[in-house]
Structure 1
């Protein structure tokens, strides 16, 4: 076992703040104490002063008693975000507005104090030291046009880590990005999975950029299939690291190490649970369920037992890194992205990524599910090379190699319809989650 700089940072925090060592037992003591503190802090807000009126922090003797507290949901935040403010509005440094997946729900607004943002910078700093070294150059393919945006926070973190960074922004012209990587002698890129996948596919097909190699890549902000990950890794001949986080977490939740064996969670700032999405009870260790987290130090907008809507699981297999910290398996999918075909069977964008992007000449796609007497999945594709024909048989072949989806086809729960090639399809900007479009069948 060995500690990465990321884990050493967390060990130093625990030692400094609580005079504890880096063991599973001491980490539990640390987190339980922080949970008590954040409950008291959260009660400064209108929402939690009412929600936790009958709960006292001193009654939290262990994690079992903590899990008697009610969940917080995205709908709670959407209903009235200002009810979550635990500090005066004058202390808020940044407000992030997030559109919800529903059409009738109000957007969520997430509030950060300066200290909240500084905590994110520290997480980014040491998380990035998992994959970059002092003196390296990082190309940031994420938004960075406003103060305290993801790009700006990452730029600040990389500067503290002794690295140079270039905020490029989301990919709109992939050839210009490849040119930038080559001319600027970039060592690492940070980007959205589908966009970096796009770059990888084009790079391998363009003689001018075939020789580009990187020392590392960090993917964030959306689901990534194992196939996409392998394509990117092979194209740039480097380790591909994956970050899991959401704005409600304070942007950062966890990051993979060089073993790329799940996310090492940000344990000094978050307490994470996996619960049954229906019952809300803990699942058995190693089983899939909904990810729930509690912020341990957030000032502006503490969140207690927040349901993320993400499906994941804790990994039981040991990693070469320190085993005191939990490892979360790569996110399977979001509950909200599931489109049900009957009471139990469903499809999701994560599932289709595994299938459609596994077709060699396909670099993106659009999917529409039409439900009526028959469930029809219409697929449009964007090709790397238009002269290489891709048709329904290629899609069906890929779908039948997917265990779950092949059963849907076999049991006639869904049909696939190839709707053509989209030559002018824009690259997903990553500003909104990719999803399957749903429409009712016209009678």
Structure 2
């Protein structure tokens, strides 16, 4: 049975724990992991009395492309396995939206290690057993779905799967089962609210206390949170962070809204400049780099997540010594688009658009003109949209980005809706 990860109140004790775990894992990988063996042996030859600072400074980064290339060279699963093949009982894969999917195998032990992290996520969200949790997605080969569901079961909650139902059917099932917790993407929490309004469905018939969202940055964007709360009145919105490659790693602070922590007892955390690779200082933005201090069956060392965060040192009112990341994941390093010389991130555009409750859905269209990228925003309004909101939205975008962005209002039902990760940015041509 999974148990919650240990919680440390002293930074020195935490770092001693991390170094002990890391040293033991490196020894294991040097012996049993063909993917990491050469890297680990070369590193330990240079630093036989390895410290955390040595590891952060000198051990090479792992990129997703490294793992994908290894699987292509040694199909189907590659060499990043540490146990005999018959010990592996779980299979998951990445979505493959940016290339070939990455396949991950886990043993019962490494799987329980990840379930223990979801216990921390639930505990920080105030979900501590006896709740009725609705999972508003179909179960594919994606790690987050399965680990969230099984950890909720292990925590003594009634788990209600929502696969094979349409959005109205899910709302009806939530009401019939008197659901108290909803797990979904931020986009889909908004979609359920939209469907409820279109069908005169009373959301107050669902005694929802907590919405746990993941899969895209919107969960920690204040404007998106407010938009969710306009539908789901009284429910607390809680963000979570994880990846198939690293497992469920982040949870939202129970004391500071929108502040994300990484479970540092089980992960070594770094934030670096994605270009220079220099360590970021407190208050700076950078790319999150994680090392798993468990999941030895399928580990990653100094893994370049590609996710951008702002690093903040612990403060007393946080009631934790873990580093914090205000507003959670800010976006992806490779999502940045330069529009007429201005760096644009999808999460930043979302933060402006979601200030306007009259926007039911939106899409960003990108087009190359005269060797420059131009941007156009399509918006689909709600039924009750009125007034000069289009002009106000345009002014808000101009104030934020110093750009005049053309806005096109489209008819109801024109723009696609998303159950999982939303894909709102489209390149034309």
- State the shift of 1:252 in Å: 3.4
Assess, with a 3 A threshold, how the Cα gap between structure 1 residues 62 and 392 changes in structure 2: closer, same or farther.
same
Aligned equivalent of 1:125: 119
Contact kept? 2:9, 2:320, Cα under 8 Å: no
Aligned equivalent of 1:333: 331
- Within the candidate set 64, 81, 98, 1:74 is matched to 64
- Within the candidate set 18, 23, 31, 2:18 is matched to 31
Asked if residue 230 in structure 1 is aligned to residue 226 in structure 2, the reply is yes
Distance 1:106 1:248 in 2: 14
- Within the candidate set 74, 91, 95, 2:91 is matched to 95
Once the two structures are overlaid, the 10-residue window that deviates more, 26-35 or 256-265, is: 256-265
Contact kept? 1:182, 1:209, Cα under 8 Å: no
Aligned equivalent of 2:379: 381
SS of 2:183's partner is strand
Asked if residue 438 in structure 1 is aligned to residue 427 in structure 2, the reply is yes
Contact kept? 1:361, 1:383, Cα under 8 Å: yes
Q: Which runs of 5+ in 1 are unaligned?
A: 1-5, 13-20, 410-414
Aligned equivalent of 1:322: 319
- State the shift of 1:222 in Å: 0.9
Aligned equivalent of 2:37: 49
Asked if residue 141 in structure 1 is aligned to residue 136 in structure 2, the reply is yes
Contact kept? 1:10, 1:267, Cα under 8 Å: no
SS of 2:187's partner is helix
Contact kept? 2:5, 2:117, Cα under 8 Å: no
CA-to-aligned-CA distance 1:106-133 (integer Å, 9 cap, x gap): 3222222211111111221232122224
Distance 1:424 1:143 in 2: 24
Matches within 5 A, 1:243-392: 243-316=240-313, 318=315, 320-329=317-326, 330-341=328-339, 345-373=342-370, 375-385=373-383
Assess, with a 3 A threshold, how the Cα gap between structure 1 residues 36 and 339 changes in structure 2: closer, same or farther.
same
Assess, with a 3 A threshold, how the Cα gap between structure 1 residues 243 and 97 changes in structure 2: closer, same or farther.
same
Aligned equivalent of 1:3: none
Distance 2:295 2:313 in 1: 29
Contact kept? 2:190, 2:228, Cα under 8 Å: yes
Report the aligned-residue RMSD: 2.8
SS of 1:354's partner is helix
Assess, with a 3 A threshold, how the Cα gap between structure 1 residues 340 and 39 changes in structure 2: closer, same or farther.
farther
Distance 2:224 2:378 in 1: 19
Distance 2:28 2:424 in 1: 37
Assess, with a 3 A threshold, how the Cα gap between structure 1 residues 149 and 290 changes in structure 2: closer, same or farther.
closer
- State the shift of 1:424 in Å: 4.5
Contact kept? 1:259, 1:319, Cα under 8 Å: no
- Within the candidate set 49, 69, 84, 2:80 is matched to 84
Distance 2:146 2:183 in 1: 13
- State the shift of 1:301 in Å: 1.4
- Within the candidate set 180, 183, 206, 2:173 is matched to 180
Assess, with a 3 A threshold, how the Cα gap between structure 1 residues 53 and 278 changes in structure 2: closer, same or farther.
same
TM-score by length of 1: 0.84
Aligned residues: 412
SS of 1:268's partner is coil
Assess, with a 3 A threshold, how the Cα gap between structure 1 residues 169 and 435 changes in structure 2: closer, same or farther.
same
Asked if residue 106 in structure 1 is aligned to residue 100 in structure 2, the reply is yes
Contact kept? 1:337, 1:435, Cα under 8 Å: no
Aligned equivalent of 1:194: 187
Aligned equivalent of 1:15: none
Q: Which runs of 5+ in 2 are unaligned?
A: 72-77
Contact kept? 1:226, 1:354, Cα under 8 Å: yes
- State the shift of 1:99 in Å: 4.0
